[in-house]
Amino acid sequence: MIEVNHLTKSFDGKVILEDISAKFNQGQTNLIIGASGTGKSVLLKNLVGLIAPDSGEVLFDGRNFTSADKDLKTDIRREIGMLFQGGALFDSKNVEQNIMFPLDVLTDMTKEEKLERVNYCLDRVGMTDVNKKMPSEISGGMKKRVGIARAIVNHSKYLFCDEPNSGLDPQTSIRIDNLIKEITEELNITTIVVTHDMNSVMEIGDNIIFLHKGHKLWEGNNETIFDGDCTELQDFIFANKLMRAVKKNRG
Ligand SMILES: Nc1ncnc2c1ncn2[C@@H]1O[C@H](COP(=O)(O)OP(=O)(O)OP(=O)(O)O)[C@@H](O)[C@H]1O
């Protein structure tokens, strides 16, 4: 479990996140949702330590990451896997080298052990016989799969996904969402997904927090989201025609 307690962050005197507290559960896909510019990415960066909060704390399974010394911070960072927008693969490395990279940097495994682990992860994300392909030779959906394989290759306990559906068509998006959920449950890891995609909310929203202008206004899941009485959340959900039609059908 990852816990955030009373986290506040400002840039140049402007408050971006104010007094955010939340719990992100192990074995679940935890979503941070909200409109553009509302602070989702800044919160994610605070969680993984790319930005330091002005106040508040982040705990990884009870270990205080914010006040941790260098050694503990390094230990926790090693347990974090990240899936970046667009996959963020190294263009000059092939698929196998991309996935192996964290093992090269963080472990003293032999070449054979690393290759075995890479192949296991490739298989797990539904890809085979692509080891030697370059990122430019694979589709956007495949790049995300490679990104997921790289994020879990070093037995990560925590998986962070920043807009995993960006640039994907709806069907591929759903497949990637479901892959993230399956892996989360199978490996019993704590997964946090930043998204503004309502399809993802409905598909994998086990536990959801809604941010609006730097404040957490609502928390719940994909079953309770329609019944919340938060106006800003309802405006966010029903911003598109399809969701308004769904609402109408629900009576
Ligand atoms: N390093 C920074 N310095 C100054 N302001 C920043 C910095 N990073 C983010 N911001 C500001 O913080 C606010 C929230 O940005 P953030 O990227 O978290 O939004 P978001 O909810 O992730 O939006 P989107 O869905 O469009 O990615 C924005 O006004 C942004 O300009």
Confirm or reject: Cβ of 20 under 6 Å from ligand 1: no
d(CA 190, CA 158): 5
Say whether pLDDT at 229 is over 90.
no
List pLDDT tens digits, range 84-126: 886 688 999 999 999 999 999 999 999 999 999 999 999 999 9
Q: How confident is the model at residue 246 (pLDDT cuts 50, 70, 90)?
A: confident
The pLDDT value given to residue 239: 78
List pLDDT tens digits, range 145-192: 999 999 999 999 999 999 998 889 989 999 999 999 999 999 999 999
Pairing of strands 29-33, 190-195: parallel
- Mean pLDDT in residue range 28-56: 95
Which amino acid appears at position 94 of this protein?
N
Domain that holds residue 83: 2-250
Confirm or reject: Cβ of 42 under 6 Å from ligand 1: yes
- Mean pLDDT in residue range 183-212: 94
Ligand 1 atom nearest 194 alpha carbon = 22
d(CA 76, CA 65): 8
The CATH number of the domain holding residue 112 is 3.40.50.300
Say whether pLDDT at 240 is over 80.
no
The structural domain count of the chain equals 1
User: What is the value of pTM for the model shown?
Assistant: 0.93
Ligand 1 atom nearest 196 alpha carbon = 25
The backbone region for 90, taken as left when phi is positive above 0, alpha when psi lies in -120 to 50, beta otherwise, is beta
Mean per-residue pLDDT of the chain: 92
